[in-house]
Amino acid sequence: MAKVAVILSGSGFLDGAEIQESVITMLTLDKAGAEYQCMAPDMEQMHVVNHLTGEVSEGEQRNVLVEAARIARMKVIDIAEANPSDYAAVIFPGGFGAAKNLSDFAIKGANSTVQSDVLQFARSFAATGKPMGYVCIAPAMIPHIYGAGAKLTIGSDTDTAAAITEMGGVHINCPVEEFVVDAERKIVSTPAYMLDVRISEAAVGIEKLVHKVLEMIDGK
């Protein structure tokens, strides 16, 4: 049974992992017979957003790993303690947490960096040549992990695509129900909620991404 690392960035799309994208990812893995392990960095969130009003909750702070445990039903580990060799694939669900906590792309754009524990795990895993999937805004981290020339999609947002191009990524426009594959680097990406879509539409692309990642484990 393939074991897949699912890397979360908190809980809640405005300041952490996109919950629906995360759950669809885990559900699809489970239905396909794959085992998964959720993980997240043990760090403070960039900020906390009230998901009722959309406003930043001044003076409030939350921990990314602790919040990720909500989605993972407590079954989550610190990514700093994870061994890349234990996994056959990695998937990053989206949500602003990927651009605020796992990286600072939301603030710095093309000048962004990736959180050190996440970067070390992802680069070590990428070096093994095993497949990785990126959902929603998470593909913005791909140039940091793989270097220039990696093919990816965040959908069709021109400003975000321009920043990724400036970072050395090769952006390809993609509808929500589809995905982009960089066969050389074994990268799969899909837009999901980077586009204004229904949950059923986002699910189609995420499910396809998960199945493609699982196929690539077997060299397909």
Distance of CA 175 to the CA centre of its chain: 18
Instruction: Assess whether pLDDT exceeds 80 at residue 1.
Output: no
Out of 64, 79, 136, 167, the active site residue is 136
**Length of the chain measured in residues:** 220
pLDDT in tens, 169-220: 999 999 999 999 999 999 999 999 999 999 999 999 999 999 999 999 988 7
Q: What is the pLDDT of residues 86-122, one digit of tens each?
A: 999 999 999 999 999 999 999 999 999 999 999 999 9
Residue pair 16/47 in contact by the 8 Å Cβ criterion: no
Per-domain residue ranges of the chain: 3-217
Buried b (16+ CB within 10 A) or exposed e, 59-72: eeebbbbebbbbbb
The residues with which 152 forms a beta bridge, in sequence order, are 171
Average the pLDDT over 4-16 and give the result: 98
Cβ partners under 8 Å of residue 64, min gap 6: 8, 9, 10, 16, 40, 41, 42, 43, 44, 45, 97, 101
Catalytic (active site) residue 174? no
Please state the CATH superfamily assignment of the domain spanning residues 3-217 in this structure: Class I glutamine amidotransferase (GATase) domain (3.40.50.880)
Instruction: Specify the pTM.
Output: 0.97
- The predicted-structure confidence for 112-159, as pLDDT tens digits, reads as follows 999 999 999 999 999 999 999 999 999 999 999 999 999 999 999 999
- Average per-residue pLDDT for the chain: 97
pLDDT at 219 (0 to 100):
83
Tell me the residue ranges of DSSP E strands in 15-168. Answer: 35-40, 76-78, 89-92, 132-135, 151-152
